[in-house]
Chains A and B, each alone.
Chain A
Amino acid sequence: MKKILSVFTLACLLLLSSGAFAQSPVDIRINEVQVSNVTGAQDENGDRCGWVELFNTAFGMVDVAGFYLTDDKANPTKYMIPKGNTATQVPLRKYFILYADGQPRKGVFHMNFTLDGVKNLYLYSTDGETLLDEIEIPELGPDQSFGRYFDGEGKHEPVNWSKKSARKSAVDAKVAEDGGFSILDHPTPGSTNVTSKVETKSEKMKAMDPWGGILAVTAMGVVFLCLIILYLIFRSIGKRAIRKQEEEKAAKSAPATAAKAAAIPSDGTINEEIIAAIAIACHLYQGGVDSGIHDVESNVLTFNQDLLRNSPWGARTLTIKQDPRI
């Protein structure tokens, strides 16, 4: 019964863990939209129209096939992103463009509605019920777009996704005051919304710590912290181990003393048979460290039988995987 319970628990844990780490639709965001495209990007036919850019915030591929976009919350399945096309597999930190020209027959990724006059745009998961993201589109001039300052970051109206990752919630919280969105004068379909120069960590560090003193002190502090914690843990484990060893030694010493007393005659001389046995044992193992039978690494002299080396046919029964101990 115990074994069945253990296997069941293990299976449940495996199932749960696989679900927890799978890439999921909640990683997809509406990143940028353009309503009036006069001189901007063209579709595959060379025509200009509004567009919607999705962004994969995950660090793994997410397939957006079967996701729904709508401008009407009452009709969440208004437009479905077509299935059966490998282009819907959005790689990590990449973009996916849909053309909002209201002409779905014009190409695979042409939506069946335009963004003209649209106030809100909603993104639903493949079930057509789970709201993944929504944005409120302000009045936009020709060739202007509306999107996030930083790709994938910013305020999210739907909160049900936030169960997924506390980190993302924290990122969003930083820009919650203005929502992290802006009207962009330079639309960037299919590429990052960040068009201004971004200061790298290295540049920031140079400005903050030109001589390296702050980093040195911080980093050495962290190295010491890690190793001090390990020291404290293993000092405590070591103390327990020593205590246990002493207890075991004490428990063993009582019968051993009795046996020793029985083996050694009352006059103090050792039996010749015992001497012969010790001599034979030493002879058998006189190969020393070079013979490979002693484990010298842990400072404990051991006499291990080297089964693998001495067994016939490479001892398959010894090298194949044994049944797990449950």
Chain B
Amino acid sequence: MILESNLVANLKQFIQYTGFANATFGHIVMILIGLVFIYLAIKKDWEPLLLIPIGFGMIIGNIPLFPGMQVGIYEDGSVLNILYQGVRRGFYPPLIFLGIGAMTDFSALISNPKLLLVGAAAQFGIFAAYAGALALGFTPAEAGAIGIIGGADGPTAIFLSGKLAPDLIGAISVSAYSYMALVPVIQPPVMRLLTTKKERLIRMAAPRPVSQKEKIIFPIVGFLITAFIVPSGIPLLGMLFFGNLLKESGVTRRLAETARGPLNDIVVILIGITVGCSTQADKFLQGKSIMIFGLGAASFIVATFAGVLFCKILNLFLKEGKKINPLIGNSGVSAVPDSARVSYVQGLKYDPTNFLLMHAMGPNVAGVIGSAVAAGILLGFLS
């Protein structure tokens, strides 16, 4: 009899620990969102390298837990919490930037440096979203973290939100990565709206060959200039240009391959899974998250608008034969290489012999530099 009652008590206690006993409607919703992410990644091929870790992370993070077992991502000392420190304290994003630097070829930008300015113009989306977030009642620090979604740069968004608004890091990073995956959906209508058929057919001169010396000088000078002007951007800019120097120096092939290969893959896995885990229902399913998603979409649209419009303005001052096809303006956001691919595909639609990919890579990589600089400025002003 005593044995029986003990067994029943133990069973009851065990049931209390299961996910079924602790599940809420929010948990189920978040698990479903995670499954949708995985579906989009596998079926639609939308940013699978990010959406699969994030989607599965959402499922892991939203398994209902009995608190105090030290397994949740927000419980000090748990394994997930330790891995999450890379997001929370911001040391994953610079490592991602190291990989980006080591895999980015800046030669399109070096051969036509005026495309740097297109990358600068597209950062307007960040500050439009910042103003929008302020109007919606967010604090300036939160607004800065939300605004950076407009840079279309996931690691930068995580880095900045970790510093300025840690409570919003889940919503901001998921929003940033979701919209990066949606670049082929969001940008083309804006590009078509702002350009005439004649402009879409502009052919740009082929980029000139760039010497290795120029490629080596670029990361060194680029870092010195940007870091001296915006020292708060050092973690991102330093690693970006360092990675690029590893690639271009020609004598550190192994380091460059590690940075852009295994190291980058490891960090992408860790950042994806922990960001996904951080979206626990009670922290994620809030009115604020919906506003963040709305502002994120608006910032992408404004960034595309600003990039395309800037190309059109620039064309007013350029001679015939040197004009820029405004379809590459959208690439000023730093979703590399997705937005450049969008320019390329749109260009081919109107002229199957007009290959814009290499030209679009210029503003695209300039956007990476621009968004890191913008993040540094926001950090300097608001932290």
Contacts and interface: CB of A to CB of B under 8 A. Distances in A.
B279 to A, nearest CB: 24
A211 interface: yes
A153 B374 CA distance: 30
* Chain A binding surface SS class: helix
B134 A227 contact: no
Contact of B225 (A200, A210, A226, A245): A226
A222 B378 contact: no
Contacts, number: 135
Interface string B244-280: 0000000100100000000000000000000000000
A205 B382 contact: yes
Interface in A95-147: none
A13 interface: no
B15 interface: no
A300 interface: yes
Given A212-B143, A230-B225, A233-B225, A224 B117 contact: yes
A112 to B, nearest CB: 42
A223 B376 CA distance: 10
A229 B114 contact: no
B377 A299 contact: no
Contacts of A238: 110-111, 113, 208, 214
Contacts of A312: none
Contacts of A224: 117, 120
B214 to A, nearest CB: 6
Interface string A222-249: 1111111111011101100110010000
Q: A210, A224, A230: which has the most chain B beta carbons within 10 Å?
A: A230
Interface in A243-298: 245, 297-298
A18 interface: no
Contacts of B114: 231, 235
A234 B127 CA distance: 27
A215 B127 contact: yes
A202 interface: yes
A241 B116 contact: no
Contacts of A215: 127, 130, 140, 381
Interface in B205-237: 206-211, 213-214, 217-218, 221-222, 225-226, 229-230
A297 B226 contact: no
Q: A209, A215, A322: which has the most chain B beta carbons within 10 Å?
A: A215
B139 A234 contact: no
B128 interface: yes
Interface in B293-350: none
A235 B112 CA distance: 8
Contacts of B358: 299
B373 A234 contact: no
A223 B374 contact: yes
B369 interface: yes
B225 A220 contact: no
B144 to A, nearest CB: 8
Contact of B113 (A213, A218, A223, A230): A230
B105 interface: yes
A316 B283 CA distance: 52
A202 B382 contact: yes
A210 B377 contact: no
Interface string A171-212: 000000000000000000000000000001111011001111
Contacts of A39: none
B140 A202 contact: yes
Contacts of A297: 105, 107
Given A222-B373, A224-B117, A230-B225, A216 B131 contact: yes
Given A205-B382, A226-B369, 17 more contacts: A211-B131, A213-B131, A215-B130, A216-B128, A219-B377, A219-B378, A220-B123, A222-B229, A224-B120, A226-B120, A227-B366, A230-B113, A230-B226, A234-B214, A297-B107, A298-B107, A319-B254
29 contacts: A201-B382, A202-B141, A202-B164, A203-B140, A206-B134, A206-B140, A211-B135, A212-B140, A212-B143, A215-B140, A216-B124, A216-B131, A219-B374, A219-B377, A219-B381, A222-B229, A225-B229, A226-B369, A227-B119, A227-B366, A227-B373, A228-B117, A228-B120, A230-B116, A230-B222, A231-B113, A234-B109, A234-B113, A234-B218
Interface of A: 200-203, 205-206, 209-213, 215-216, 218-220, 222-231, 233-235, 237-238, 241-242, 245, 297-300, 319, 322
- 3 nearest interchain CB pairs? A216-B127, A212-B131, A202-B141
